[in-house]
Structure 1
Amino acid sequence: MTDHPQHTQSLSWFPILLATIATMSWAGNITLAKLVNANIPPLGLSFWRWAVAAIVLLPFVYKPMKDKWPLFKQHLRLVLLLSLLGVAGYNSLVYIALENTLSTNVVILQSASPLMILLVQFFLLKQAATLKQTLAILTSAIGVLLIITKGQLVTDFAIGNSELIALFGILVWATYSVLVQKLPDALKGLPILGYTVCLGVVMILPFYVAESVLYETMPISPQSIAISLYTGVFASGIAFWCWNTALMRMGAATTGQFMHLIPVFGLVFSMLLLGERMETYHYVGIAFIVSGLVIANIRRRATQESPSS
């Protein structure tokens, strides 16, 4: 009995680690997608990303998918919607946005995810934000604002069409993060990962074909193969499993806070890959972002420990 609180506390770090791995993978995905977008069309990258993910995941998800087939049919509409939002929609919109905006803008805009998750929860599930959730979001948002404005709280950061596409993509992702929790427990984990990835590939296919015929075909090159493998294995299969598991353990509101880490990792990757250097305002901004995550985690752990007190 005395070991139970310690066991719960140690387990609480596991979903935190998973959410961090997911956001780090997605930050790398955005940075690399910007690096190659001059040569690789957005829907081509989106399709092959998820096609590779489906191939890699199939040996692991086939049996769970087969076992849960009757349950899948019962919740077909929700699974189709999750496939459209989380797989086909969000990533394609981000890649399209990167065609005409900086990757830095896209990774920073990802920090709107926690606020959008709370808004979606309010409108779809009638769940109001707690005071500490609001405080956590505002604290992290200050850090994002400091990074956007280069240390000044006045900015000329313009929202153009590409930024609006990215914001819409973030809203799509927030809706996915809320709705995935409505699944029955037996479908969560590997079954839903397999179903959404496979269905998402089918949904992207006609748009990929149209892009190839009307706009640009996906080239076969070492670069395209490498980016497809990275996005398919790490930014898709592994990252989505990590994110979905964290969602089930921590809930959408708390897990959504970790989207603030995408700008942090994005800036680091830009420094390493593009030669950009970190300034003082970057470190101050990151401190605020991490503080927001700490506030959100304190709220969650206090909630977990209260029943045993």
Structure 2
Amino acid sequence: MVQSRRGASPSPYLLLVLPPLLWSGNFVIGRAMRDAFEPVPLTFWRWILAGVVLAPFALALTWRHRAVIARYPLLLIALGVTGVGWFHLSVYYGLQTSTAINAGLLMATGPMMIAALSWMAYGEALSLRYLAGLLLSLAGATVVIARGDAAALLALEINEGDIWLFGAAMLWAVYSVLLKRRPPELPPLALLFITIVVGAISLAPLFVWQSGFALGFEPGIETLGTLLYVSLLASLLAYQFWNRGVREAGPSRAGLYMYLMPFFSAVLSVIALGEPIAPFHVVGGGLIFGGIALAVMRRRPAAAAVTASEGE
């Protein structure tokens, strides 16, 4: 019975598809609502709302594991600051002035940073199969981001928003690699809750300095709907799936799934804006999925063949 239950558990490789989908919506909303929200209030209230929703389910659990939390203060602070608070703040600042092509290309550096940091921090082997998949997915993401137009890549110009987005990619890489050090005895829900608390606290002084004790945005259907999406779907749900995926698949393999964001963003544009499906969607998407499959699918060991040959 136990075996069947464990076998029914969703594969981390399937769960890792969902965070990029939800975060693609976050990027689209971040650009669409940049006039309604300043980056600091949007990031701050995003995590306050997420923490309030999660508290009834995680507060008692977190308290019961306070001794574990006390043993790893620096790690948990680093996770909360890099992956929760300041990653999204950097993204929202970047989206105010960066172009869609620049934003996509800069965030596409994230998987390479994760792979490099994993190698430096843990000596994680980067096989030729993995590197080939990484480059194939990067090529696919570039095709989608540039919309199949090589001239668009040659006309790139760097602006202030690009610096913020490059910093965001670095912060996410650090967060993803640090997740491997998470205390195994700390439940995932408690880990998420404590990092949300840390992230919100790290943003509070900046929020008060900018907005005082005002909301920092004009309440309305669009702004409240934005907060609900980024708090519940792009935060709570996406982070639970991502944290589990990194825990079970490793940061390098999980990082490859970030290449799905340009593809999902293009798909969302097709659905929401009625844009036609173009050849670059198909080619780029095929390269991304093919690269991920090449990198994460392990070759079957030839143990059975060896055993058979020894028995002869």
TM-score under structure 1 normalisation? 0.89
CA displacement at 1:38 relative to structure 2: 1.1
Offset at 1:164?
A: 2.3
Q: What SS class does the counterpart of residue 219 from structure 1 fall into? A: coil
Q: CA deviation at 1:188?
A: 4.5
Q: How many residues align?
A: 301
Q: Shift of residue 17 of structure 1?
A: 2.5
Measure the CA separation in 2 of the matches of 1:16 and 1:123.
24
State how 1:183-198 maps to structure 2 within 5 Å.
183-198=182-197
1:87 aligns with 2:84: yes
* Aligned-partner Cα distance in 2 for 1:21–1:68: 29
Q: Check 1:19–1:126 CA distance in 2 against 1; reply closer, same or farther (3 A cut).
A: same
Instruction: State the AA in 2 paired with 1:143.
Output: G
Aligned CA distance change for structure 1 residues 76 and 226 (closer, same or farther; 3 Å): same
Residue 101 of structure 2 contacts residue 146 of structure 2 at CA under 8 Å; is this kept in 1?
Answer: no
The aligned runs of 1:197-236 (5 Å cut-off) are 197-213=196-212, 217-236=216-235
Q: CA deviation at 1:302?
A: 4.5
- Residue 76 of structure 1: which of 73, 76, 88 is its match? 73
Shift of 1:268: 1.4
Corresponding residue SS for 1:185 = coil
CA contact (8 A) 1:104 1:266 kept: no
Structure 1 SS opposite 2:242:
helix
Distance in 2 (alpha carbons) for counterparts of 1:142 and 1:9: 34
Q: Percent identity?
A: 26
Provide the rounded CA distance (Å) in 1 between the counterparts of 2:100 and 2:16: 21
Aligned pairs for 1:89-168 (under 5 A) are 89-103=86-100, 105-153=102-150, 155-156=153-154, 157-168=156-167
Across the aligned residues of Structure 1 and Structure 2, the Cα RMSD in angstroms comes to 2.6
The reply on whether 1:29 has 2:29 as its aligned counterpart is no
Structure 2 portions without partners, runs of 5+: 308-312
Cα deviation, 1:47-77, whole Å, max 9, x if unaligned, reads 1110110011111111221111001000001
Counterpart in 1 of 2:270?
271
Q: Distance in 1 between matches of 2:226 and 2:282?
A: 29
Which one of 27, 40, 57 corresponds to residue 37 of structure 2? 40
Amino acid at match of 1:55: V
Q: State the Cα distance separating 1:10 from its structure 2 match.
A: 6.1
Q: Name the counterpart of 2:240.
A: 241
1:20 aligns with 2:22: no
1:250 aligns with 2:287: no
Aligned to 2:292: 293
Kept in 2, the 8 Å contact 1:108–1:262? The answer is: no
**Alignment-derived partner of residue 280 in structure 1:** 279
Q: Where does the alignment leave 5 or more consecutive residues of structure 1 unmatched?
A: none
Q: 1:7 to 1:295 in 2, by over 3 A?
A: farther
Question: Aligned residue for 1:262?
Answer: 261
Query: What is the distance in 2 between the residues matched to 1:221 and 1:149?
Result: 35
TM (norm. structure 2) is 0.88
2:107 and 2:169 in contact (8 A); partners too = yes
Bigger drift between 288-297 and 143-152 goes to: 143-152
User: Which letter maps to 2:272?
Assistant: L
Measured after TM superposition, the shift of residue 122 of structure 1 is 2.4
Distance in 1 (CA, whole Å) between partners of 2:300 and 2:89 is 38
